[in-house]
């Protein structure tokens, strides 16, 4: 076995991007995902109407030129609400991912690097956390803290933490045995340096892929929480809230459900496509 | 072997104890008093005070916790504030329903995900692969409750070929029972099937390209022997692993599915109990699922360690 | 020419007469026996014990299995059921005599008599944990001097007593079963009723079957009645459409139009005593049981509260939130109730609202939070209110909560303004006293008005209907002016059933009575 003295390059920005875009499904996914993100950020500019603007002359109207996706029971434009809804869903997903990453990665790093008793304790704690299915945690949490976008994101993020700890830890355990890490330790580098300069950058692949998994989950989870009445505060639209509100009108005004339904489908699809592509490109070995 | 067993058992017990604390704190943090929550419009202060007294709700929290733990250890999960029936009995009466739903959903997921995943891997890059991939992606991207509502609308309301809701116990009328399970099973099993499909496919692709398989092919074994003999066995292991990991998702999914299809199962019990603030039931249910999960994990770990002695050394156990 | 025209006319008339006569003749086949009806309960029962039951869901089951001393007719007038006549009240109002039926048996064969009535009444009155105590609070003793007479002794004249005896407080339970099960009566309740209890799985179903012991059994046609609690109104309708239910007790207003158009179903409507209102926190600083205090709620200010009320457009709410199918209201008594004062609700007065806001001197936008029990309808209502009151300078936040939290907040005074529906009672006292009396059990605003208290006490003890009407006119006027509760609408109840169901009539209390209902088997 040869002694490798340099880290294998992991993130070669441009190379990755090029390889991603070379596959049609992934390319489409990237474009759609980026479009949705841009739309979410630029909602105030892109949306033709304000999300709470009532047009009392056009109640429950089917798609027309003035309202391409129809209006709801209070005369609000469905298309605009769907665009603003992107914000809520994106925000929920980003907050949840941030929470999960900020909490789980350091714990996973420490646990995997030091092993021993710390690792054992962490594993028991994650066992205990994993024992609670997402919905039970979410229902309890939103009942305690009150229903809101932040609390929904909190619940979603909390549920991702044990999984992310496990994944990070797994990677660290493996990386720790790699020759370049062993070399660094043998050289007498301080633990902190080994972790941050050698191990962490190599876990980024996996974390990035996980991030693209969290967002679709967050969107679906927010929709489900809204369905159960634990959603976002009115009149802020979120796709889940729109879907739930469209339910009584399925027979009479089906277009109310199409916009948020399609939005959810497109967003989760595109992010899943990107995730798949990233996984294939960054590390074909990964089959999580 | 026995040292490992003892160690794992000890760790599981600690996890369990942590779980009870989390459950208790979580439940008692819920705003809203059970007596008020359950009396609806019939608010009668004297009656509510009596309920609080009877269930020890006015005592300090640590005392209530100890009281609960002491009876829980004996297997008694307390009495439901709403019905006055033992919580254990209520849970046990609902578990078989959810087990049937989850079991059938798992079966559906396997029947749908496994063959498609294998076929996609074997015919990688073809139209079949893309089709299977799309089906998998879409299955992952639809909210469960949405799928349920749409299917009810199509099959029960418009076409009137299937019932919209309800549950008949299997022993009472097997045909009705299964008929009412068709839509819920499809709804619950779709997401899981999609996950299985994708995992099986990528797992198969990996092992089809592995050294072992290349050697087997070089030796002259037919494609079928290669696929069935080696790759398939690996994918079955993947299936089992995934099913274990996704157990929590299955319970979450059953909550929503049971709510839509009005199935009196374990998942719906959780929602109802939280809504009524029926503390003993919520605690019992949360604890029950934690115990089930930890016990299953413990069993799986033991099984793995039996099959693979390296794991016992605790190096890469995940 | 003329003769042929006469002939044509004569033929036409004859044809029309025949056509008119035919359906009339066809409408009177004798009801067929048999069949089972699955119906929805909009909420599940808490317990099936009339002494301890608090939910409306329990009343829905009781109405078919547990008869009471008095009942309502379809329009809400009190009629005797297990009693044989309306009660006779003594001059001083302190003795009430009720004649009860003879030759009646409970559904377990036990003979019904005045002693059994007394046993049930005493249990309702005095059992530990009973939820009927305040309804029967005026009674000090009950006795059965003979098998068909019950005499009640009161501590004060009580005009609302008969109405209380037409609900759970008047339900008579089998003494044999009470002796057998005691506090567990609710597990296997036995009363006098067209149907008797068979079994119940909490959260799933309750089954009743026809009782052969019932005194009027020949007019009961259904074999079985199965209740299914379904909280989601859209799911109820879906089940009706799919044929899994034959009757839906509460239909969402959004489904009414489509069901009416469908020849397979029949929709029935009835204006009830139920209402939707908003309760304002005026002085609830220490909880419902504590003393009134100062609260940080902009609407505690009288002028702002009135401005808020004036800025509401009740007709628009009815149109947009309830598809125009409810009745806009501004007081606690429904137009379907004989005590209604006949005063129409004022139209929206935005200018007046703005003027009051300016006069109050409080800077706009005025931040107020409306708490609602989470449901699509309530959220719709909240959002519409948001846009309505915004025009007067209020910035309304809407917070959807689950029921338990909402109830708790009400109790603790942890709210600015909260959406509070009430399922309605026949007697105006039961619709007003507990909410507006200074120490009322449901006076969540903690509003105090000694003059109103005096009027309320008087109105509940005066037995003369005309005098009571005059008193309630005064009371309602004060309530409307005070606005501790801002009333939005009186509820019109909608039920729907398959056209195969015959003989169903919707009563003012919304309870689905199935005694004389039959299923045509064709």
Which chains are adjacent to chain B, needing at least 3 Cβ pairs under 8 Å? A, C
Neighbours of A169 (CB within 10 A): 27
Cα(B217)–Cα(B12) distance, rounded to whole angstroms?
Answer: 44
Computed over every residue of chain C, the mean pLDDT equals 89
Closest residue in chain B to residue C424, using alpha carbons only:
B41
Query: What 3-state class would DSSP assign to C439?
Result: coil
Judge: B290–A131 Cβ closer than 8 Å, yes or no.
yes
What are phi and psi for residue C83, nearest 5 degrees?
-80, 165
Report pLDDT for C49.
93
Residues from chain B that touch C133, judged by Cβ atoms under 8 A, are: 44, 46-47
Percent residues over pLDDT 70 in chain B: 89
C290 DSSP assignment = S
* Pairs of residues, one from chain B and one from chain C, whose beta carbons lie less than 8 Å apart: 120
Cα(A223)–Cα(A244) distance, rounded to whole angstroms?
Answer: 8
> Roughly what angle, to the nearest 10 degrees, separates helices A134-145 and B266-276?
10
Report pLDDT for A25.
77
pLDDT of C226 over the 90 cut: yes
Residues from chain C that touch B31, judged by Cβ atoms under 8 A, are: 404-405, 408-409
Contacts of C165 (CB under 8 A, 6+ apart): C68, C69, C70, C98
pLDDT of C10 over the 60 cut: no
Residues from chain A that touch C379, judged by Cβ atoms under 8 A, are: 234, 245
Report pLDDT for A9.
45
Judge: C202–B83 Cβ closer than 8 Å, yes or no.
yes
Report pLDDT for B167.
77
CA angle C266-C267-C268, nearest 5°?
Answer: 120
In this predicted model, which residue has the larger pLDDT, C163 or B312? C163
Judge: A224–B143 Cβ closer than 8 Å, yes or no.
yes
Cα(B91)–Cα(C139) distance, rounded to whole angstroms?
Answer: 43
Tokens of A225: 């929480």
Closest approach of chain A CAs to the CA of C387, in angstroms?
8
Report pLDDT for A15.
65
The answer, for B159 touching chain C at a CB cutoff of 8 Å, is: no
Judge: C184–B160 Cβ closer than 8 Å, yes or no.
no
Residues from chain C that touch A235, judged by Cβ atoms under 8 A, are: 383, 386, 398
Judge: A248–C383 Cβ closer than 8 Å, yes or no.
no
pLDDT of B308 over the 70 cut: no
Cα(B10)–Cα(B27) distance, rounded to whole angstroms?
Answer: 26
Judge: A136–B153 Cβ closer than 8 Å, yes or no.
no
Judge: B315–A139 Cβ closer than 8 Å, yes or no.
no
The answer, for C401 touching chain A at a CB cutoff of 8 Å, is: yes
What average pLDDT does range C213-236 have in this prediction? 91
Decide if A135 contacts B252 (C-beta within 8 A). yes
| CA Rg value for chain C | 25
What spatial distance separates the first Cα and last Cα of chain A, rounded to whole Å?
29
Which residue, chain included where needed, has tokens 């069949």? Answer: C35
The pLDDT tens digits for B176-223 are 888 888 999 999 998 888 888 887 887 777 777 766 667 777 777 777
Decide if C265 contacts C497 (C-beta within 8 A). yes
Residues from chain C that touch A252, judged by Cβ atoms under 8 A, are: 254, 257-258
CA angle C263-C74-C457, nearest 5°?
Answer: 140
| DSSP secondary structure of B71-113 | HHHTT---B-TTT-SBHHHHHHHHHHHHHHHHHHHHHHHHHHH
Contacts of C408 (CB under 8 A, 6+ apart): B31, B32, B33, B36, B37, C414
Tokens of B297: 């994990």
Decide if C276 contacts C421 (C-beta within 8 A). yes
Residue C521's pLDDT band (boundaries 50, 70, 90)?
A: confident
| DSSP secondary structure of chain A | -PPP-SPPP---HHHHHHHHHTSHHHHHHHHHHHHHHHHHHTHHHH-SS-TT---TTSTTPPS-SSSTT-B-TTS-BHHHHHHHHHHHHHHHHHHHHHHHHHHHHHHHHHHHHH-HHHHHHHHHHHHHHHTS-HHHHHHHHHHHH-S-HHHHHHHHHHHHHHHHHHHHHHHHHHHHTSHHHHHHHHTT--HHHIIIIIIHHHHHHHHHHHHHHHHHHHHHHHHHHHHTT--PPTTS--HHHHHHHHGGGTTT-THHHHHHHHHHHHHHHHHHHHHHHHHHHH-TT---
Pairing type for strands C95-99 and C366-373 reads unpaired
The answer, for B135 touching chain A at a CB cutoff of 8 Å, is: no
* Pairs of residues, one from chain A and one from chain B, whose beta carbons lie less than 8 Å apart: 132
Closest residue in chain B to residue A257, using alpha carbons only:
B146
Sign for the CA dihedral angle at A219, A221, A225, A231 comes to negative
The pLDDT tens digits for B230-245 are 667 777 776 777 776 6
Contacts of C372 (CB under 8 A, 6+ apart): C378, C379, C381, C382, C398, C399, C400, C401, C406, C418, C419
Residues from chain C that touch A234, judged by Cβ atoms under 8 A, are: 379, 382-383, 386, 398, 400
Decide if B276 contacts B38 (C-beta within 8 A). yes
Decide if A144 contacts A227 (C-beta within 8 A). no
CA angle C505-C507-C512, nearest 5°?
Answer: 70
Report pLDDT for A28.
86
Cα(A133)–Cα(A147) distance, rounded to whole angstroms?
Answer: 19
Residue C24's pLDDT band (boundaries 50, 70, 90)?
A: very low
Closest approach of chain B CAs to the CA of C130, in angstroms?
6
Residue from the list B22, B141, B270 with its beta carbon closest to the beta carbon of A268: B141
Tokens of C234: 């859209």
What spatial distance separates the first Cα and last Cα of chain B, rounded to whole Å?
18
**DSSP bridge pairs for C494:** C269
The pLDDT tens digits for C110-157 are 999 999 999 999 999 999 888 898 889 999 999 999 999 999 999 999
Pairing type for strands C88-89 and C366-373 reads unpaired
Closest approach of chain A CAs to the CA of B172, in angstroms?
31
Report pLDDT for A72.
86
Cα(B216)–Cα(B223) distance, rounded to whole angstroms?
Answer: 9
The burial of C473, by beta-carbon neighbours within 10 Å (0-12 exposed, 13-18 middle, 19 or more buried), is given as middle
Cα(B188)–Cα(A268) distance, rounded to whole angstroms?
Answer: 18
Topology adopted by domain A23-40+70-287: MetI-like fold (1.10.3720)
Which residue, chain included where needed, has tokens 């994990």? Answer: B297
What average pLDDT does range C464-471 have in this prediction? 92
Residue C352's pLDDT band (boundaries 50, 70, 90)?
A: very high
pLDDT of C309 over the 90 cut: yes
Low-confidence ranges of chain A (pLDDT < 70): 1-16, 231, 282-288
**Interface with chain C: mutation pick from A61, A251, A254, highest number of C CBs within 10 Å:** A251
**DSSP bridge pairs for C89:** C96
* Pairs of residues, one from chain A and one from chain C, whose beta carbons lie less than 8 Å apart: 66
Closest residue in chain B to residue C412, using alpha carbons only:
B32
Neighbours of B119 (CB within 10 A): 19
Residues 186-215 of B with CB under 8 A from A: 199, 202-203, 206
Sign for the CA dihedral angle at B205, B211, B215, B218 comes to positive
Report pLDDT for C470.
94
Residues from chain C that touch B156, judged by Cβ atoms under 8 A, are: 238, 241-242
Neighbours of A54 (CB within 10 A): 23
Report pLDDT for C120.
95
Closest residue in chain B to residue A275, using alpha carbons only:
B137
Judge: B82–C202 Cβ closer than 8 Å, yes or no.
yes
| CA Rg value for chain B | 24
What spatial distance separates the first Cα and last Cα of chain C, rounded to whole Å?
48
Report pLDDT for C79.
94
Report pLDDT for C364.
84
Report pLDDT for B304.
66
Closest residue in chain A to residue C254, using alpha carbons only:
A248
Which residue, chain included where needed, has tokens 């799919």? Answer: C242
**How far, in Å, are B124, B272, B273, B277, C46 from residue C404 at the CA level?**
54, 11, 11, 7, 14
**Interface with chain B: mutation pick from A127, A173, A254, A280, highest number of B CBs within 10 Å:** A127
Cα(C308)–Cα(C19) distance, rounded to whole angstroms?
Answer: 57
Closest residue in chain B to residue C288, using alpha carbons only:
B45
Cα(C350)–Cα(C388) distance, rounded to whole angstroms?
Answer: 9
Residue from the list A74, A143, A233 with its beta carbon closest to the beta carbon of C380: A74
Question: HSE (CB half, 13 Å, CA atoms) of C296?
Answer: 2
pLDDT of C396 over the 70 cut: yes
The answer, for B33 touching chain C at a CB cutoff of 8 Å, is: yes
Closest residue in chain B to residue C38, using alpha carbons only:
B166
Residue from the list A74, A235, A248 with its beta carbon closest to the beta carbon of C252: A248
What are phi and psi for residue C223, nearest 5 degrees?
-80, -45
Decide if C114 contacts C147 (C-beta within 8 A). yes
Residue from the list C320, C402, C404 with its beta carbon closest to the beta carbon of A229: C402
What average pLDDT does range B264-290 have in this prediction? 84
Closest approach of chain A CAs to the CA of B243, in angstroms?
13
Cα(C241)–Cα(A116) distance, rounded to whole angstroms?
Answer: 62
Report pLDDT for A231.
67
Cα(C129)–Cα(B237) distance, rounded to whole angstroms?
Answer: 57
For residue C198, the surrounding DSSP H or E stretch is strand C195-201
Which letter, b or e, does each residue of B70-89 get, where b requires 16 or more Cβ atoms within 10 Å of its Cβ? Answer: eebeeeebbbbbbbeebbbe
Which chains are adjacent to chain A, needing at least 3 Cβ pairs under 8 Å? B, C
Closest approach of chain A CAs to the CA of C276, in angstroms?
19
The pLDDT tens digits for C171-192 are 999 999 999 999 889 999 999 9
Decide if C368 contacts C394 (C-beta within 8 A). yes
Residues from chain A that touch B285, judged by Cβ atoms under 8 A, are: 136
Residues from chain B that touch A131, judged by Cβ atoms under 8 A, are: 15, 19, 248, 289-290, 293-294
Residues from chain A that touch B294, judged by Cβ atoms under 8 A, are: 127-128, 131
Report pLDDT for B313.
47
What average pLDDT does range C31-53 have in this prediction? 90
In this predicted model, which residue has the larger pLDDT, B96 or C14? B96
Judge: B156–C422 Cβ closer than 8 Å, yes or no.
no
CA angle A148-A154-A155, nearest 5°?
Answer: 95
Residue A212: name the closest of A23, A16, A29 by CA: A29
Decide if A86 contacts A40 (C-beta within 8 A). yes
Closest approach of chain B CAs to the CA of A22, in angstroms?
15
Residues from chain A that touch B259, judged by Cβ atoms under 8 A, are: 228
Judge: A144–B15 Cβ closer than 8 Å, yes or no.
no
What are phi and psi for residue A4, nearest 5 degrees?
-90, 125
B156 DSSP assignment = I
Neighbours of C331 (CB within 10 A): 23
């Amino acid at each position: 076995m040869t002694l490798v003295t340099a880290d294998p390059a992991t993130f070669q920005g441009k190379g990755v991007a090029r390889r991603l875009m070379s596959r049609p499904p992934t390319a489409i996914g990237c474009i759609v995902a980026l479009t949705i993100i841009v739309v979410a950020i630029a909602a105030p500019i892109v949306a033709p109407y304000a999300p709470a603007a009532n047009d009392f002359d056009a109640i429950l109207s089917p798609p027309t030129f003035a309202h391409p996706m129809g209006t709801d029971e209070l005369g609000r434009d469905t298309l605009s609400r769907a665009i603003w809804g992107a914000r809520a869903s994106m925000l929920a997903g980003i907050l949840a991912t941030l929470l999960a990453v900020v909490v789980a990665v350091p714990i996973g790093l420490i646990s995997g690097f030091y092993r021993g008793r710390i690792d054992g304790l962490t594993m028991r704690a994650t066992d205990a956390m994993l024992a609670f299915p997402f919905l039970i945690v979410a229902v309890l949490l939103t009942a305690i803290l009150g229903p809101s976008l932040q609390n929904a994101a909190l619940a979603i993020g909390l549920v991702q933490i044990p999984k992310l700890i496990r994944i990070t830890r797994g990677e660290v355990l493996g990386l720790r045995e790699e020759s370049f890490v062993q070399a660094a330790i043998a050289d007498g580098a301080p633990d902190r340096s080994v972790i941050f300069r050698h191990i962490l950058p190599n876990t980024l692949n996996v974390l990035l892929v996980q991030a693209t998994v969290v967002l679709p989950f967050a969107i679906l989870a927010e929709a489900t929480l809204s369905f159960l009445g634990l959603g976002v505060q009115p009149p802020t639209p979120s796709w889940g809230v729109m879907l739930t509100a469209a339910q009584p009108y399925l027979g009479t005004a089906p277009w109310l459900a199409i916009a948020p339904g399609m939005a959810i489908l497109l967003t989760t699809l595109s992010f899943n496509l990107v995730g798949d592509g990233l996984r294939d490109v960054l590390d074909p070995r990964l089959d999580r | 072997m026995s040292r490992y067993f003892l160690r794992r058992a000890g760790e599981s017990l600690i996890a369990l104890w942590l779980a009870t604390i989390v459950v208790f704190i979580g439940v008692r943090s819920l705003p809203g008093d059970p007596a008020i929550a359950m009396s609806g419009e019939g608010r009668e202060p004297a009656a509510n005070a009596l309920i609080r007294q009877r269930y020890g709700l006015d005592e300090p929290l640590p005392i209530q916790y100890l009281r609960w733990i002491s009876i829980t250890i004996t297997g008694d999960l307390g009495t439901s504030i709403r019905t006055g029936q033992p919580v254990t009995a209520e849970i046990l009466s609902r578990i078989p329903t959810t087990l049937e739903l989850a079991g059938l959903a798992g079966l559906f997921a396997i029947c749908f995900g496994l063959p498609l995943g294998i076929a996609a891997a074997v015919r990688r890059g073809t139209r079949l692969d893309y089709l299977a991939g799309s089906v998998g992606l879409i299955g992952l991207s639809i909210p469960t409750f949405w799928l349920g509502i749409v299917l009810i609308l199509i099959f029960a309301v418009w076409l009137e070929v299937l019932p919209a809701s309800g549950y008949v116990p299997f022993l009472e009328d097997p045909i009705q029972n299964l008929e009412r399970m068709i839509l819920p099973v499809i709804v619950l099993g779709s997401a899981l099937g999609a996950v299985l499909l994708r995992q099986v496919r990528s797992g198969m692709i990996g092992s089809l390209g592995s050294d072992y398989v290349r050697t087997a092919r070089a030796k002259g074994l037919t494609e079928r022997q290669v696929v069935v003999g080696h790759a398939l066995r690996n994918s079955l292991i993947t299936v089992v692993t995934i099913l274990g990991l996704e157990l929590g998702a299955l319970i979450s999914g059953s909550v929503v599915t049971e709510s839509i299809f009005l199935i009196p199962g374990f998942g719906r019990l959780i929602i109802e109990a939280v809504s009524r603030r029926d503390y003993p039931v919520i605690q019992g249910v949360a604890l029950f699922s934690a115990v089930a999960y930890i016990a299953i994990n413990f069993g799986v770990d033991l099984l793995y360690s039996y099959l693979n002695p390296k794991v016992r050394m605790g190096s890469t156990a995940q | 020419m003329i003769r042929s025209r006469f002939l044509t006319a004569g033929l036409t008339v004859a044809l029309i007469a025949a056509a008119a006569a035919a359906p009339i003749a066809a409408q009177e086949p004798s009801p067929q026996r048999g069949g089972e009806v699955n119906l929805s309960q909009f909420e599940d029962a808490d317990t099936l014990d009339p002494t301890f039951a608090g939910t409306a869901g329990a009343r829905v089951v009781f109405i078919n299995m547990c008869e009471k001393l008095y009942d309502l007719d379809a329009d809400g007038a009190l009629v005797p059921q297990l009693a044989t006549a309306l009660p006779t009240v003594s001059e001083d109002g302190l003795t009430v005599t009720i004649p009860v039926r003879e030759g009646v048996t409970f559904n377990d064969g036990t003979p019904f008599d005045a002693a059994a009535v007394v046993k049930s009444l005493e249990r309702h009155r005095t059992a530990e944990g009973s939820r009927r105590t305040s309804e029967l609070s005026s009674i000090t003793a009950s006795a059965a001097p003979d098998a068909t007479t019950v005499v009640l002794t009161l501590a004060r004249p009580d005009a609302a007593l008969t109405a209380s005896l037409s609900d759970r407080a008047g339900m008579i339970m089998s003494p044999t079963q009470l002796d057998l099960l005691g506090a567990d009566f609710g597990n296997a309740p036995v009363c006098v009723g067209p149907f008797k209890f068979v079994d119940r799985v909490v959260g799933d179903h309750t089954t009743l079957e026809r009782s052969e012991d019932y005194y009027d059994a020949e007019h009961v046609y259904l074999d079985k009645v199965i209740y299914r609690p379904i909280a989601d109104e859209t799911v109820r309708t879906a089940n009706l459409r799919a044929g899994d239910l034959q009757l839906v007790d509460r239909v969402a207003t959004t489904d009414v139009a489509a069901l009416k158009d469908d020849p397979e179903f029949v929709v029935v409507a009835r204006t009830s005593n139920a209402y939707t209102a908003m309760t304002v926190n005026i002085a609830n600083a220490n909880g419902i049981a504590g003393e009134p205090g100062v609260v940080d709620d902009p609407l505690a200010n009288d002028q702002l509260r009135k401005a808020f009320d004036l800025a509401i457009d009740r007709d628009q709410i009815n149109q947009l939130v309830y598809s125009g199918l409810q009745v806009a209201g501004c007081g606690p008594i429904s137009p379907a109730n004989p005590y209604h004062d006949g005063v129409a609700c004022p139209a929206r007065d935005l200018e007046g609202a703005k003027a009051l806001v300016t006069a109050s001197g409080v800077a706009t936008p005025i931040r107020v939070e409306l708490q609602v029990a989470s449901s699509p309808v309530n959220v719709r209502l909240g959002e519409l209110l948001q846009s309505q009151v915004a025009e007067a300078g209020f910035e309304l936040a809407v917070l959807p909560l689950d029921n338990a939290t909402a109830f708790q907040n009400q109790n603790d005074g942890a709210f600015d303004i909260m959406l509070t529906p009430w399922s309605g009672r026949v007697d105006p006292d039961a619709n007003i006293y507990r909410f507006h009396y200074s120490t009322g059990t449901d006076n969540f605003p903690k509003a105090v008005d000694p003059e109103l208290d005096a009027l309320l006490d008087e109105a509940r003890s005066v037995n003369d209907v005309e005098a009571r009407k005059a008193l309630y006119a005064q009371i309602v006027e004060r309530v409307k002016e005070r606005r501790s509760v801002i009333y939005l609408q009186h509820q019109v109840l909608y039920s729907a059933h398959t056209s195969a169901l015959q003989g169903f009539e919707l009563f003012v209390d919304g309870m689905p009575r199935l005694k004389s209902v039959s299923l045509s088997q064709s």
